[in-house]
Amino acid sequence: MTVLTVAEHRRGELRDVSRELLTAGRQVADATGGELHAAVVGGDVKAFADDLNRDGVDRIHTVDDGAEFNHDVYTQVVTQLAEAVDPDLLLLPNSVNGLDYAPAVASRLDRPLVTDAVGLSMGEEPTVTRELYGSKVETTIDVHAERAVVTVRPAEWPAAEGTGDATVEPFDAEIDESAVRSTVTGFEEVGGGEVDITDADVLVSVGRGIEEEENLDLIFDLADALDATVSASRPIIDNGWLEKDRQVGQSGKVVTPDVYIAIGISGAVQHVAGMKGADTIVAINTDPNAPIFDIADYGIHDDLFEVVPALIEEFR
């Protein structure tokens, strides 16, 4: 069987998920004695193709169309390429941009789509492992079709390494310009405020468990006592309780402090993506099953409103 992956790049850089897709794809191709194809659309396709040329990649398709991602172009190109290569499995990134074109491609190809795969196997039909209810449970899904489109969760597979000897060939897609009805006009960095959480040695990070905005005083008191910086998970930022540049996670900042103290944070995958590189991770949460404890070094299964004041007392 044949697997086709499509790389992702932004502002001149190939994103990590591009090489992770190769690992996931190679795993499936190996199990079935098949071929692994990769594709890259737009930007410096030659340099990107070099970077994608890893162990086990058989063929790389380069499509020289535009500098940056545009979903109308990607949808047309990837659909045409999938029709030409006819892969059993089309693997795309479960990124913000992946989710901006994968559903349209699947729909045009009339192939089932399964998003956010954390596991993947290929028997006669594809089987995909996914998470439900905020990572509390996992489910397997059998796809009753010979061909499918699957989006792969970033950072779930290791990035492909080594140097390959793939054939690199350009693919000429025919772009219907009248069907390009969206225009990317620029990019903007969020934040730029006074706090740089990426520079802090110790982060006291707060999540939904804090319940009320005024309870944040408790977190700032702890940060004062520990000489730490306050950061937060997404719900706190969405509520407008703290500035955007304090957000840790996939859509916020990636932080690597010496110590990360997660308070009332359940540990959704999007949050973990931003802080798992911390040297020491401490989690305080009432829910012993919260995913944050899977990556924590030290944990307390208790009410933060009991533990945090006691901890402040310890450092007074």
Near other proteins in 255-314, by CB under 8 A: 258-259, 279-280, 282-283, 286-290, 293-303, 306-307, 309-311, 313-314
- Of 191, 196, 241, 276, the one binding other proteins (CB under 8 A) is 191
DSSP summary character for residue 194:
S
C-beta atoms surrounding 97 within 10 Å: 19
Taking contact as CB under 8 A, which single stretch among the options 36-44, 50-58, 164-172, 245-253 is the one that binds other proteins?
245-253
Q: Does 104 engage in binding with other proteins (CB under 8 A)?
A: yes
Site for other proteins in 13-72 (CB under 8 A): 69, 71-72
Instruction: Pick from 33, 174, 178, 181 the residue near other proteins by CB under 8 A.
Output: 181
Number of residues that bind other proteins (CB under 8 A): 101
For residue 40, give the H/E element and its range. strand 35-41
Is 113 one of the binding residues for other proteins (CB under 8 A)? yes
Q: Which secondary-structure segment (H or E) carries 203?
A: strand 202-206
CB 225 within 8 Å of CB 49: no
Q: How far lies 143's CA from each of 86, 114, 134, in Å?
A: 17, 8, 22
What's the closest the beta carbon of residue 85 comes to other proteins, in angstroms?
21
Restricted to residues 154-173, the positions that interact with other proteins (CB under 8 A) are 154
Between 163 and 182, whose beta carbon lies closer to other proteins?
182
Minimal distance, residue 58 CB to other proteins, in Å: 28
Closest CA to 264 of 294, 299, 295, 238: 299
Distance CA 132, CA 310 (A): 35
Rounded to the nearest whole angstrom, what is the least distance from the CB of residue 112 to other proteins in the complex?
Answer: 4
CA distance 3 to 189: 35
